């Protein structure tokens, strides 16, 4: 689940690890690709075969400080929150990122607004 992935990323950056490995999930891989495109992580690699597949994530630092300052989980299993494309607002005055699960896949808030598609708000990262 993406909540475990993001918590592991934040904790690994707090102790200044270079790489972490997490179990492979398609949703996690797509989220990591979005984070890589938006410069929150350095690189991702898919390793292994079958049930032993893992994602090897190279973390990114700026001046010996982790690039990820904070994560806010919006939707939870007990409470799902949805948003229309007209209601999408910038996160932290444009310095953050909103990740949505939409009918067109996992998208950032900017991409969803451009494609005029809403969906479930997963989390904000800055």
- Read off the pLDDT of residues 20-29 as tens digits, 9 standing for 90 and up: 999 999 999 9
Strand partners, 79: 76
pLDDT for residue 1 is more than 90: no
Architecture of domain 71-125: 2-Layer Sandwich (3.30)
pLDDT class for 87, splitting at 50, 70, 90?
Answer: very high
Instruction: Tell me the mean pLDDT in the region 55-84.
Output: 94
- Per-domain boundaries in the chain: 2-66, 71-125
Do the domains 2-66 and 71-125 sit in the same CATH topology, yes or no? no
The DSSP result for 67-97, as a single string, is S---EEE--BTTB--EE-GGG---SGGGTSE
Identify the pLDDT of residue 21.
96
- Read off the pLDDT of residues 5-52 as tens digits, 9 standing for 90 and up: 999 999 999 999 999 999 999 999 999 999 999 999 999 999 999 889
Q: Which of 106, 121, 123 is nearest to 37 (CA)?
A: 106
Instruction: Tell me the mean pLDDT in the region 42-67.
Output: 93
What are the C-alpha distances in Å from 25 to residues 14, 46, 86, 89, 111? Answer: 24, 10, 30, 28, 22
The rounded mean pLDDT for the chain is: 95
The CATH fold of domain 2-66? Ribosomal Protein S8; Chain: A, domain 1 (3.30.1370)
Name the strand (E) or helix (H) holding 61: strand 61-62
pLDDT class for 118, splitting at 50, 70, 90?
Answer: very high
* 74: exposed, middle or buried (Cβ count in 10 Å: 0-12, 13-18, 19+): middle
Angstrom distance (rounded) from CA 9 to CA 70? 11
């Amino acid at each position: 689940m993406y909540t475990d992935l993001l918590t592991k990323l934040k904790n690994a950056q707090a102790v200044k690890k270079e790489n972490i490995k997490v179990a492979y999930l398609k949703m996690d891989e797509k989220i990591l690709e979005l984070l890589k495109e938006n410069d929150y992580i350095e690189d991702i690699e898919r390793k292994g075969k079958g049930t032993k597949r893992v994602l090897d994530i190279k973390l990114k630092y700026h001046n010996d400080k982790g690039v990820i300052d904070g994560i806010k989980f919006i939707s939870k299993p007990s409470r799902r929150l949805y948003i229309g494309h007209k209601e999408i607002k910038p996160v932290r005055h444009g310095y953050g990122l909103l990740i949505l699960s939409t009918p067109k896949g996992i998208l950032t808030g900017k991409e969803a607004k451009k494609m005029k598609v809403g969906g479930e708000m997963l989390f904000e990262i800055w």
